[in-house]
C-alpha cells in the first residue's frame, strides 16, 4: 500500500514502487495498513514476535511486551550502580538518595541552599517534589535511609532495592505509557500495521542507553523523557494545550529538556500560523504555559513564605546576613532585603543559579561533542568564559535554526521525531555544559523513527542502530569508571542482535529498491565506525596509554564519537529537508530518477 510501512519481514514478492514519496504526508489517522503476505522474519526481534502477527488487538500483546521489558530493567538493576563503595562522593546514586534526604528532612526554603558541597540540589522543582515523594515512602520502610547527615554514603542492600524500584515505578507511570500512546498514534498516522508498531515499541523500550543510564548507572531521565513523549503525542492528537502542560513538566523535572524547547515552540507556533492564523489557539497555549509554570513553582514559593512566617531562616549558616544574589546582582538596588517577598526572590534566583551552572565552564569532563573534540587541538580553557559562552550560543543557534524553521513553516506531525532529533543533536554537539548521558536526548526521538513509515526497513534501522550503539560506546569511559562494563556489553550487543545490527549481523544493509551508491556509502560509513569502535575496545583493553598521554583512549573516544554524532545530525537534517517537501519538485524528481538508475 502506498505510503505504508514495510513490516520487519521479507516480502514474498517485490512490492510495486510508490510514486515520489509525497503520499507520505497525505495519509490521515485511521485504520492501519493490513499486513502483507510474508515468508519469514528478517531480524531476530521480528522473529520473537512472529507468533503474534495474527493478533486482532494490540492489547493482547502489549501486556507481554511490558512484562518482558520490565524484566530486563530489573535484571539490569541487579548489577552495581554509580558510586557503589567509591568514597568520598559515592556518585549519582548518592546524589538522588541525598535529595530524598534533604527534601524530607529540611524546610522547603532550605532545599536549594543546604550544604552545596555535598550533592547540592541542582535540578528544577519537579525533581525536588519527586525526591520528596520517594523519600517519604522510603522513610515509612526505614527512616535510617534518609536520616540527615548520618545516611550519607549508605549502601544498604534493601535501600538499593527500594531505589531501583522507584526508577522502575516512575518509568512505568510516566515514560512507558507515553511511549505506548505515541507509537500507537504515530504508526497509525504513518499507515503502519499494529504488529509492526508492536515490534517498533519493543525496540524503543529496549533502547540500551536508557536502561544503562537509569537502571544501571542510576538516574530518572525517563521521567523527563516521558513528559517529552507525552508532549509529542499530544501534538499528534492535536491537543496543543496539553502538549504545553506536558512540556512544562519536562522542563520542571530536568533542565536538559531545553534541548527540545525550540521544536516545541516552532511546532506550536506553526500550528497557530499554518494554514491560517489562529489567534485563540495561540493565546490559549500562552496562557496554559504561564499557568503551568506558576503551578510548578507554587509549592516552592508558598513553602518559602510559610517558612519565613514561622521564623525559619533559608540560610541558617549565614546567621541572618544577606549576601548579594548569585545572579542579577543589580536587583538588590531595587529590592529591600527586609521586604516580605525578598526570600521568594532569593529562592527563585538561587534555584535558577543551581539549575544553570554557567560558572562550571564550557565542559567539566570529556564528552563526544564539538567542544571537547576541538579542545584536543586548541586548549579552550585558556580563553575567557564569556567568549566560550557566546561561541557555544552562536554555534548552537546555527545548528538548530534550520530544523526549527522547517518545522515552523511545515508544522506536520510526521516531521516531529526528525525535528526533535536534529535539534537535540545540535544542542549535544555545540551547547554549553554537555554531559555524556545527554546523548539520551537526541537518541530518543531518533529511535522513534522506527515506529514510522519504513521505520523497520533496512535504511532507517541501520541509522537508528548506528546512533544508539555509538551513543552507548561514547558512554563506556563513564560506565567503566563505576565497574559497569558487563551490563554495557550485554545490553548493547543484545539490542544489536535483536535488530540485526553490527557487530552481530549485517542484515540491516543493502536492500532492493534503493540507490546502490547510497547503500554502499552508508555501509562504508557505518562499517568504518564499527571497526573503529571494536579496535578501540581491543586497544583500550590490552594496551596501556603512554605516561605522558594518560587520557589517550578517552580522547580517541571523544574524537570518533563527535564525528559520528555530527554525521547523525546531518542525516537527520537531510531527511527532514526531504520529507518536509521544501525542496523544488523538479529537484526531487531528478533525485528520484537518479535513484532508479
What crossing angle do the helices spanning 370-377 and 416-430 adopt, rounded to 10°? 30
Choose among 480, 387, 392: nearest CA to 433: 392
Q: How big is the chain, counted in residues? A: 597
- What pLDDT, on a 0 to 100 scale, did the predictor assign at position 339? 80
How open is the CA angle 247-466-477, to the nearest 5 degrees? 80
Residue 590 CA from chain centroid, whole number: 37
Q: Which residue's C-alpha cell is 531527511?
A: 575
What crossing angle do the helices spanning 485-498 and 458-474 adopt, rounded to 10°? 180
Helices (H), 142-191: 157-173, 175-189
Structural contact between residues 155 and 85, judged by C-beta atoms closer than 8 angstroms = yes
Which H/E stretch holds residue 419? helix 416-430
What are φ and ψ of residue 9, in 5° steps? -150, 170
Structural contact between residues 202 and 181, judged by C-beta atoms closer than 8 angstroms = no
Residue 346: partners with Cβ closer than 8 Å, 6 or more residues away:
314, 322, 325
Choose among 8, 151, 1, 5: nearest CA to 498: 8
What are φ and ψ of residue 41, in 5° steps? -70, 150
- What pLDDT, on a 0 to 100 scale, did the predictor assign at position 513? 61
Choose among 387, 464, 355, 382: nearest CA to 418: 464
Q: Residue 121 corresponds to which cell in the numbers above?
A: 540540589
Structural contact between residues 92 and 221, judged by C-beta atoms closer than 8 angstroms = no
- What pLDDT, on a 0 to 100 scale, did the predictor assign at position 585? 64
DSSP conformation letters of 369-409: SHHHHHHHHS-GGGS-HHHHHHHHHHHHHHHHHHHHHHHHH
* Spatial distance between the Cα atoms of 220 and 230, rounded to a whole number of angstroms: 16
- What pLDDT, on a 0 to 100 scale, did the predictor assign at position 436? 87
Q: Residue 241 corresponds to which cell in the numbers above?
A: 494545550
**363: region left, alpha or beta (phi > 0 left; psi from -120 to 50 alpha):** beta
C-alpha distances in Å from residue 436, one per residue of 94, 183, 213, 333, 561: 19, 27, 10, 40, 11
Written in H, E and C, the secondary structure of 252-311 is HHCHHHHHHHHHHHHHHHHHHHCCCCCHHHHHHHHHHHHHHHHHHHHHHHHHHHHHHHCC
- What pLDDT, on a 0 to 100 scale, did the predictor assign at position 199? 94
Written in H, E and C, the secondary structure of 474-488 is HCHHHHHHCCCHHHH
Structural contact between residues 241 and 284, judged by C-beta atoms closer than 8 angstroms = yes
Choose among 50, 39, 34, 25: nearest CA to 1: 34
- What pLDDT, on a 0 to 100 scale, did the predictor assign at position 57? 67
What is the rounded end-to-end Cα distance, in angstroms, of the chain? 23
The number of CA neighbours under 13 Å toward the Cβ of 393 is 7
- What pLDDT, on a 0 to 100 scale, did the predictor assign at position 211? 97
* Spatial distance between the Cα atoms of 331 and 375, rounded to a whole number of angstroms: 37
Low-confidence ranges of the chain (pLDDT < 70): 1-39, 55-58, 319-321, 327-333, 358-361, 512-514, 585-597
How does strand 9-11 pair with strand 38-41?
antiparallel
* Spatial distance between the Cα atoms of 575 and 426, rounded to a whole number of angstroms: 15
Choose among 259, 244, 258, 257: nearest CA to 290: 244
What are φ and ψ of residue 225, in 5° steps? -65, -35
Written in H, E and C, the secondary structure of 183-250 is HHHHHHHCCCCHHHHHHHHHHHHCCHHHHHHHHHHHCCHHHHHHHHHHHHHHHHCCCHHHHHHHHHHH
- Structure pTM? 0.90
Amino acid at each position: 500500500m502506498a505510503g505504508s510501512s514495510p513490516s520487519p519481514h521479507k516480502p514474498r514478492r517485490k512490492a510495486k514502487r510508490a510514486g515520489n514519496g509525497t503520499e507520505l504526508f497525505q495519509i490521515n489517522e485511521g485504520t492501519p495498513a493490513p499486513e502483507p503476505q510474508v515468508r519469514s522474519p528478517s531480524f531476530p526481534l521480528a522473529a520473537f514476535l512472529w507468533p503474534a502477527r495474527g493478533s486482532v488487538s494490540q492489547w493482547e500483546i502489549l501486556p507481554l511486551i511490558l512484562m518482558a521489558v520490565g524484566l530486563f530493567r530489573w535484571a539490569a538493576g541487579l548489577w552495581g550502580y554509580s558510586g557503589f563503595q567509591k568514597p568520598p562522593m559515592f556518585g549519582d546514586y548518592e546524589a538522588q538518595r541525598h535529595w530524598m534526604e534533604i527534601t524530607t528532612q529540611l524546610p522547603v526554603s532550605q532545599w536549594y541552599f543546604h550544604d552545596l558541597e555535598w550533592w547540592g540540589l541542582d535540578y528544577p522543582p519537579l525533581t525536588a517534589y519527586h525526591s520528596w515523594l520517594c523519600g517519604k515512602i522510603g522513610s515509612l520502610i526505614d527512616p535510617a535511609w534518609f536520616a540527615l547527615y548520618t545516611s550519607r554514603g549508605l549502601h544498604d542492600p534493601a535501600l538499593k532495592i527500594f531505589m531501583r524500584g522507584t526508577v522502575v515505578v516512575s518509568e512505568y507511570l510516566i515514560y512507558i505509557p507515553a511511549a505506548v500512546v505515541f507509537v500507537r498514534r504515530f504508526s497509525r498516522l504513518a499507515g503502519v500495521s499494529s504488529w509492526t508498531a508492536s515490534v517498533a515499541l519493543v525496540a524503543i523500550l529496549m533502547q540500551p542507553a536508557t536502561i544503562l543510564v537509569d537502571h544501571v548507572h542510576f538516574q530518572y531521565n525517563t521521567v523527563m523523557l516521558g513528559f517529552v513523549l507525552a508532549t509529542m503525542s499530544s501534538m499528534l492528537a492535536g491537543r496543543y494545550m496539553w502538549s504545553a502542560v506536558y512540556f512544562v513538566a519536562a522542563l520542571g523535572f530536568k533542565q536538559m529538556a531545553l534541548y527540545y524547547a525550540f521544536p516545541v515552540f516552532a511546532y506550536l507556533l506553526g500550528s497557530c500560523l499554518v494554514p491560517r492564523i489562529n489567534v485563540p489557539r495561540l493565546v490559549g497555549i500562552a496562557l496554559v504555559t504561564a499557568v503551568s509554570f506558576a503551578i510548578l513553582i507554587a509549592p516552592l514559593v508558598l513553602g518559602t513564605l510559610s517558612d519565613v512566617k514561622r521564623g525559619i531562616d533559608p540560610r541558617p549558616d549565614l546567621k541572618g546576613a544577606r549576601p548579594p544574589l548569585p545572579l542579577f546582582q543589580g536587583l538588590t538596588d531595587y529590592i529591600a532585603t527586609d521586604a516580605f517577598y525578598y526570600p521568594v526572590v532569593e529562592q527563585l534566583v538561587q534555584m535558577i543559579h543551581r539549575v544553570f551552572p554557567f560558572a562550571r565552564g564550557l565542559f567539566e569532563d570529556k564528552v563526544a561533542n564539538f567542544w571537547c573534540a576541538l579542545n584536543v587541538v586548541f586548549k579552550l580553557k585558556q580563553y575567557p568564559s564569556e567568549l566560550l559562552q557566546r561561541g557555544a550560543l552562536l554555534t548552537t543557534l546555527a545548528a538548530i535554526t534550520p530544523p526549527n524553521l522547517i518545522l515552523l513553516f511545515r508544522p506536520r506531525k510526521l516531521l516531529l521525531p526528525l525535528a526533535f532529533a536534529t535539534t537535540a543533536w545540535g544542542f549535544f554537539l555545540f551547547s554549553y555544559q554537555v554531559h555524556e548521558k545527554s546523548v539520551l536526548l537526541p537518541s530518543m526521538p531518533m529511535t522513534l523513527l522506527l515506529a514510522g513509515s519504513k521505520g523497520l526497513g533496512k535504511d532507517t534501522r541501520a541509522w537508528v542502530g548506528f546512533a544508539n550503539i555509538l551513543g552507548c560506546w561514547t558512554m563506556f569511559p563513564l560506565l567503566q569508571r563505576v565497574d559497569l562494563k558487563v551490563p554495557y556489553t550485554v545490553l548493547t550487543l543484545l539490542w544489536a542482535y535483536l535488530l540485526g545490527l553490527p557487530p552481530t549481523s549485517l542484515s540491516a544493509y543493502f536492500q532492493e529498491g534503493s540507490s546502490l551508491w547510497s547503500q554502499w556509502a552508508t555501509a562504508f560509513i557505518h562499517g568504518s565506525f564499527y571497526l573503529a569502535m571494536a579496535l578501540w575496545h581491543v586497544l583500550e583493553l590490552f594496551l596501556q596509554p603512554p605516561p605522558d598521554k594518560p587520557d589517550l583512549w578517552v580522547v580517541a573516544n571523544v574524537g570518533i564519537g563527535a564525528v559520528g554524532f555530527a554525521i547523525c545530525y546531518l542525516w537527520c537534517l537531510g531527511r527532514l529537508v526531504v520529507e518536509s517537501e521544501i525542496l523544488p519538485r523538479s529537484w526531487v524528481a531528478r533525485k528520484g530518477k537518479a535513484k532508479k538508475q
